[in-house]
Structure 1
Amino acid sequence: MRKPPHHRLVPTKVAALAAGVSEATIRKWVSRGKLTRYGTPGRSAFDIDELTQIAIRRRR
């Protein structure tokens, strides 16, 4: 998987907590193209800034 330059990556559990959703929702967002998955096979990581933007849009 590709790694974003200068981005803070968090694992799925932290991503779910940050966005206020379940881990299953994080995985659904990835499969639907709403969220970019970084990391290696078996070890997902997500950009905390991208998650913040998604969470802000959801709360409007």
Structure 2
Amino acid sequence: MDWLLLTILAGAALGLLLWGILRDRRAAPLPGDELRPHENQRAQYDADVARMRAAQRYTDGGGAGI
């Protein structure tokens, strides 16, 4: 009976260890997959400009804005 409990606890510990390792590997980007900082900043800037232009279009039209 003690061996059964020990086997179950060892299996659970091994499972938690493997789960932690795999979770960390999924979180890390692979080399070459991440955007370069200037590309990421450019994409954010383009999105901000598009959002501001859309808001300006609605406010320039006399207030209907729907």
Give the TM-score, by structure 1 length: 0.26
Q: Which structure has the highest helix share of the two? A: 2
- Larger relative contact order (Cα-Cα within 8 Å, sequence gap ≥ 6): 1
- Say which one has the larger Rg: 2
Query: Which protein has the bigger strand share?
Result: 1
